[in-house]
Structure 1
């Protein structure tokens, strides 16, 4: 007899129909995805696509005045403001915006432990020192003020702070952009490895598709506030289906490019902040757009093992 089918475990994070409105404009429009424990999902796209706003909405950190709707469940339970720093953690782009300049690094971690776990001062300091050692910071660096550390060391301290209370989900928004390429790779590798060791899921917001190729398990491509393609990283980055994804990948520089040759770019500007019209938001830039694309927004459907929002995947005739 064939073995009984086994049911996949419930996703650690489930976001369903997430929407964010700002000043009457819906900037995030019906975003849905899941994340499993230990998994890395990269959210990619051009600037202004809604990546950071989506990440902040998940954490309850949307800008003041924003109207957020949809469902966000973590281990089957709704996420609330009290979960940030406990079940949810945030790694920002610039470490100095997350670290206090007037407190020593280890003191800041110890405070985070005490505020969440209720530990005593001595126990909290010991936990903080172990967390900083786990990200490669020596005791003298742990005892320093943030301004005395290099950019890479500060980002390591922020990663330690994010993970010190054992969160289920870590959201990292361009966590290595301010660093040189070597430090970028070190920080991303460290972040991925520490999350995996802790059993935490990682949502990585990034514009660096080559880094995403090396570190993500799955990729979600965002354009004009919607997800246009999502699936396994090898599929999305190796065999893209949506025209926007193909255009993004085609715009990457390659090792064989001639010296001083012009970088390839997507035709046309990305959409502004105005509400999109009735059709596909990418239609003005898409070489395959036809009447149906300009008249109706595509729904999301399974195509070639991933989810795609496009009337003409694979560049089918319009």
Structure 2
């Protein structure tokens, strides 16, 4: 076999003739293996590039999505709903004393303030708009308020109206005894129609603004309540104030008028005292009304607040043998 001739001499030609064939076959075989290896390497390289490109593309997509989300901000579904603060109910509400100028003339008008409430008390009162001359009177009144103690401080914006004498007294006819939203000097609400005209709601709102600037939650929406059947509040359990020992130090006849709100939840709050009687009579009257129970007024199936006024007459005689048994009369 020529392919097995290794003679370096005489056989050289045979070897020389056989070498190209062997080399060619080996080269072809090597080329096939090389080509296969190159193709495999190229395939692996291409796959790696695709994978890296895919990762880069995915990373780019994720980054683009994150940037878009950041730019768009939180979605509506993830946004926490705004907290609705509960109403600021107060045990005692004080009317500001009407301020006077240097000449002794009374100052009328309005003032808007921000009151910071901490622990149920007004800690700070800041002027916002209106007549700055009224700020001191408003501040002195607000600092006496005793309100619901919330865990966090809150700031309430209030508008105080200082009207000329008789402005509140000369209310429209609907704001007098016949107004089912304002039971004046009566134990029970007077007879009322089944539907309350919007004008009476306007009177109610005017009195809320005038007497309770911090209770904007007690304002009624006339349009939303229009046409709804109305049922007045009623006193379910009427607790009458009693004569106590401390009253016996104040002989005479005393009158205490309370203005307060029967809230939509049936509680009584925001007492305004109009009286020249000693403070002991004020506290007894307020305590009795707070311990009374009420069914709130309603429009359709919605309970609404009502402004109430009640007057209590106390008679303390010097020779009263049994003071604890005596009762104050209410009307």
Structure number with greater Rg is 2
Q: Which has the higher contact order (CA 8 A, sep 6+)?
A: 1
Q: Give the TM-score band, short-chain normalised.
A: under 0.3
**TM norm structure 2:** 0.24
